[in-house]
Structure 1
Amino acid sequence: MSQRVNYNQQSPEIVHSLMEISKQLSKSEISQTLRDMVNIRASQINGCAFCIDMHVKEARIHGERDLRVHHVQVWRESTLFNAQERAALEWTEAVTKLTAEGISDEIYNRVKEHFSEKQMSDLTLAIGLINQWNRLSIAFRAVPGSADKFFGLDKAGMN
């Protein structure tokens, strides 16, 4: 597989803006662990190999246990996630798989038990951002691992 378009080169100002949003989200009340799990789960749902590769490596660099990363896809059955992480993963699925009916009050009410309004807003922005990155990477066939050196992901020791 080869990349169709290098969106970093073709739209550098916009890509830079997306990266700035990511920097701002790293300063939010949403923990790095939650952001890693959200990024992995949305990327799994969307089938984005580039982003799964990137965010699994990031999670490892951030100290996440391998088994938890492997369990992200089956979080509902796993005992490795606490209530807040489960809520974040449920919200990730709901926001990523939007339907014509939207997101039910039942899901929203379950998730808001674990997050303030500010945290809900930041979490939803983080989910929206990873979905945007997924769409770019899938549309233009970004090659998994091709940006490891640029992002420092070679430090994960997974190549």
Structure 2
Amino acid sequence: MVGSISLLVDSPLRDLAFAMREVPADVRKHIASETRKHALPIWNQELRERAATRFQQRALVSSARVGVTARNVFLRSGSVGKLSSGTPVVWVSTVAEWGFPQGKKVDVTNRKGKTFQRSMGAAVPARRRGGWVVHPAAQDAIPRFASLWIQTARRSLHEAEEKA
């Protein structure tokens, strides 16, 4: 788990989570769509700031997605799309985020079909327990998403009450 906010303590998020149970479905859908619309640029910005290499940009930033439900905001990266070589992003996203042991040899097959070993070198970052891009970005973005969700829900609830 990258990061989360506990609703066990008394907080505006806890109150909002309880209030969302009583909100009509069309208002919940509006809150989710508005949150998604404003959350994706925040998520992309956080990822872009941390991606140091072109490989990380293509594998993690270009595939960033945000999902919003009535109770959660899901941050996704590295699961959809392909690189320019045709390689699915999901195959390389783990290496782009967590790195690779620099001295380790990997088996590579050339165009003629001959298999040989090479080291990864500087193509990918070194191993890092906390991740390089997605996990640090998520830890910084989660409080921003919580604030966004509260503001969007309050505004949507007030607008729905004015219409009624």
Fold shared by both chains (TM-score > 0.5): no
Greater strand proportion: 2
Structure with the higher fraction of residues in helix conformation: 1
- Relative contact order (C-alpha < 8 Å, sep 6+): which is higher? 1
Larger radius of gyration: 2
